[in-house]
Chains A and B, each alone.
Chain A
């Protein structure tokens, strides 16, 4: 697993500070540092790497999760790629993640702009906007499921708005919008906080100087703010994509993958299969899923590399 992340393309850490530290103590490493690092490496290896390797091995078996099993080669992988249901789940999951990333980033950025501008009640407003972040996905999904299927149609009927009169969760073409909405509702706050952190790093003097030069607010946004937050957008996109690809509890609570199989995510397929004793097969699916997740992350980082540089 580590080999996949080693390539230096992921220069996640700015190397600026490093050289200084290096020259200071190039000769020896205080053994205490190993002691500092060791607990992390140890629990990580035992609790993640080892299980992941075991899971990988299981994907070549017919194990149902307990009892004896035998190795069946790559049959599971062949079946995964021939499985319409699973391919459909991949399609849905990728499309849903893409849309959600865009929606979340735009709204979070606008909220962050608003909350760092000269508004009143800034602290109170920010406090309210962050609340969705602290509530569990399952609970959020159940509350919205109730609103979508009971309250909203009732409201729609009452106000004579026809499209609202039936639940959008029941519409195979629109149910995914509800999932995007609720997922965005929950994940906008953390993206917003990251954007706020980014916006606050611009010294006010920069804007002041700029307005003395007669720049319009639009000019400021376009030439100062946007380039500046590009890096934060990368963080939000990579983290967001990773979370949305694993979408599970909100979908279970809202549509349970329906109507039909219209909103069945990969994670759902994996967990349902596991509960049904289809363990090894879903393990193969999960391995494929992991490779795709890593690939997407690498593509994003590669793709956005130049972008940040321009600024």
Chain B
């Protein structure tokens, strides 16, 4: 069970609450099945679709390489449900986000700070986990792969029109205007999928102008008083970037509102547009079309100062071991196996991620190499849309702004949602 977080008081333990209920059911229950096997099975949860075959292979290799544990690759478990019934997977390998942080915050993830591998992670990368709610005194989330996202651009189209990579907002608008005048779609929009709008246009424009971490820190402090008068708010702090975001939508393909992520990848593969606001995960999909391309990446310039340039990062894969796992020993062993340089580096090279350890080799893929210096210098932010709880349909709100809804009114609504959430927390 989870350790109590606060002294007893009015708190009710879930177990006590359910004891009577469970007792009634117990008479009726049947024993669960557990797969037979001489060595303990470690459930390894990893559900990034494109990496499933890769990790399944690694799990099999590890299982063969020693005779103490068997690793079972799991891509189907519903995580929330598994924590609710106290049977989470033994080792998780997932995107680290607000949903995961909820488990962290409540002490559901075990401390891994005693592992030598924990000390090998870059400090500023490890600190990314602290943008989210934490649990005092624990290092429970080991970043495994960081993805840096920025504007994907078609180098040949830029060259054909004599354009260079913009480093200020004005240059960016000029690039868009010139492309438009030349009859080239400057930006490919895939607005049918709300997440692409949030991840791309919204996060890039906000991240380029606003201190995301500081903003949300204050938003949490202000809580239910967030509104037009508060020090920070969506309607006040984010209005300018959002207006610029709307300005950029003048330069997208006319059918952007009915195009989805898959269509965007296909279009970029066919050179239908010059720029695309997506992360490196899109390269793998663009590649599938098998066309000959020369793509690169640059951070979206939002100010007049090139020194403000930053890239969006996210902890695309992180490793953690739940407190209630009874296969912790095996989970840790597999975690250590995964973190060996000869295992971790090839993964990041193949899936265009950035290494998380202090001596990780620089990326070499020409498509993302331009982001290395920003990553090395710590000039990055995490997406602003990633810090809004799921209950507030932020991506959908942003999508509606793109679709023509009033930015101020929509941002006001997000403030109201935020305040209401704080009210009942």
A interface residues, Cβ below 8 angstroms from B: 42-43, 46, 50, 54, 57, 61-72, 75-76, 78-79, 82-85, 149-150, 153, 165-167, 169-172, 256-262, 264, 272-278, 281-282
Contact = CB atoms under 8 A, between A and B. Distances in A.
Q: What class of interface size applies to chain B in its complex with A?
A: 35 or more
Contacts of A259: 191-192, 257, 396, 399-400, 403
Nearest to B16: A68
Contacts of B6: 68
Interface string B385-425: 00001111100110110010100000001001100110111
Contacts of A50: 21, 24-25
Nearest to A64: B102
A71 B10 CA distance: 8
A308 B102 CA distance: 54
A71 B99 contact: no
Contacts of B191: 170, 259
Contacts of A43: 28
A71 B12 CA distance: 8
Contact of A149 (B21, B28, B83, B192): B192
B241 to A, nearest CB: 19
Contact of A260 (B4, B80, B108, B397): B397
A277 to B, nearest CB: 4
A278 B192 contact: no
A54 B18 contact: yes
B396 to A, nearest CB: 5
A40 B5 CA distance: 41
Q: Which 7 A-B pairs have the closest CB atoms?
A: A276-B390, A260-B400, A167-B258, A170-B257, A170-B258, A278-B391, A277-B102
A258 B25 contact: no
A163 to B, nearest CB: 12
Given A258-B396, A260-B397, A272-B391, A69 B192 contact: no
A150 B260 CA distance: 9
B425 to A, nearest CB: 7
Contacts of B423: 75, 79
Contact of B399 (A42, A76, A258, A275): A258
B391 A273 contact: yes
B194 interface: yes
Contacts of A282: 391
A276 B258 contact: no
Nearest to A47: B25
A269 to B, nearest CB: 8
A273 B194 CA distance: 17
Contacts of A153: 255, 258
Contacts of B2: 66-68
A167 to B, nearest CB: 3
B192 A170 contact: yes
Contact of A166 (B13, B24, B193, B257): B257
A264 B102 contact: no
24 contacts: A65-B80, A66-B108, A67-B2, A67-B106, A68-B2, A69-B12, A75-B424, A84-B413, A85-B413, A149-B259, A166-B255, A167-B257, A169-B192, A256-B193, A256-B194, A257-B194, A259-B399, A259-B400, A260-B397, A261-B397, A272-B391, A273-B390, A278-B391, A281-B424
B393 A167 contact: no
